[in-house]
Amino acid sequence: VNLKHKTREWKFVSNTKWGFCPRSLAFLCFPRPSKAEKGLPTSLVDNCGLKIGIISGGHLGKQLAQALLTLSWAPCCSIRISTRRPESLGKYLQEQGVKCFYDNAQLAAWADVVFLCCLPSQVLTVCSVVRPAIRKPCVVYSLVTAVPLCRLKQLLSYSAIVRPQYQCSAREPINEWGMKGTVTAALQDPAVVQATCPCGSQGKIRVNAKWLVAIFYAALNSSMWQSLPHQKALKLLNDLCFPEHCAICAEQKASCPQFVLFSLPRTFPWFDLTAAQVRESPFSQLLENSESVRSHLALLYQESFGDRPTEQHGLISGRNRCK
């Protein structure tokens, strides 16, 4: 009986651990929406677009690079990996044109987004090297779940950090992830895409809602750094999140919600992303209370992987304003 119980526990832990990988990488693979691109500053729509740096070429770093190349809008010239053993990444990534080298400071100075994929034991050393090189509006995205957000902020002396927090809501085997193939293959399965949706409630592994708040604030930080007027920044977000002829609202003959701003600063302020993930904010309360906004974001997420949800929840009955 003891052995059977331990075997069940091991299977649960093993499946859960594997499930964290597609969930961690899924929301990073949004294709670039062509309609919203027209309003972006030229520096964000050049030949290589957003510059993505990955620190550590271990299993997680390689899976992230492969997922970005296969499932997202990121061209190979926009991805660079810093690892102690560039030769260990194999021919696939380098043949795709991904630059691989070992210089964490150089990578941090170049990138718009830096992904920390190193071991927890390496975080202190990595942060001490990249801290002098990081400049606004670079976003540091940590996939090192063992190191708390407040500790990362202290080590980097920087506030534009995103670190997802996960909750596992069941003590039973998690089967929707599958146990074969790569993360890239898993994310082409509609069941996995639905399970990883950050606005969904069906997955057994869920990301904290404040993570999504930080993602939106990071986008606003980028718009502020580009001196984009707040009206244009909000229009880009509305075009992306609440497009015309939205399937949800078309079925109900209703209007999509819209982000609006009632005060009139020229640009948005710089948001502290670490604070956004530990404190309540108007936007976090909106996500918690508005089923319609969550439904639209879930639709955006699933359609970005080519998967149209079969059921829509929280349909909108009128025009909502999201402040």
Quote the pLDDT of residue 315. 32
DSSP 52: E
CA 318 to chain centre: 29
Other CB atoms within 10 Å distance of the CB of residue 291: 13
Quote the pLDDT of residue 91. 73
Helix 230-241 / helix 209-225 crossing angle, nearest 10 deg: 140
d(Cα 256, Cα 205) in Å, to the nearest integer? 29
d(Cα 165, Cα 143) in Å, to the nearest integer? 10
One-letter amino acid of 282: P
Quote the pLDDT of residue 128. 98
Global pTM reads 0.79
Quote the pLDDT of residue 258. 81
Domains in the chain: ranges and CATH: 31-164 (3.40.50.720), 210-322 (no CATH)
Quote the pLDDT of residue 202. 60
pLDDT tens string for the chain (323 positions)?
Answer: 444 444 444 443 344 444 445 555 554 554 444 444 444 444 444 445 789 999 998 888 988 898 888 887 778 889 999 999 888 776 778 788 899 999 999 999 999 999 999 999 999 999 999 999 999 999 999 999 899 999 999 999 999 999 988 776 655 545 555 555 677 777 778 877 777 777 765 656 677 888 889 999 999 999 889 888 888 888 888 888 887 767 777 666 566 788 887 666 678 889 999 999 999 988 899 888 888 888 888 888 887 776 555 443 333 333 344 44
Task: Decide: 322 and 238 in contact? Cβ < 8 Å.
Answer: no
Q: 165: helix, coil or strand?
A: coil
Quote the pLDDT of residue 19. 45
d(Cα 184, Cα 203) in Å, to the nearest integer? 18
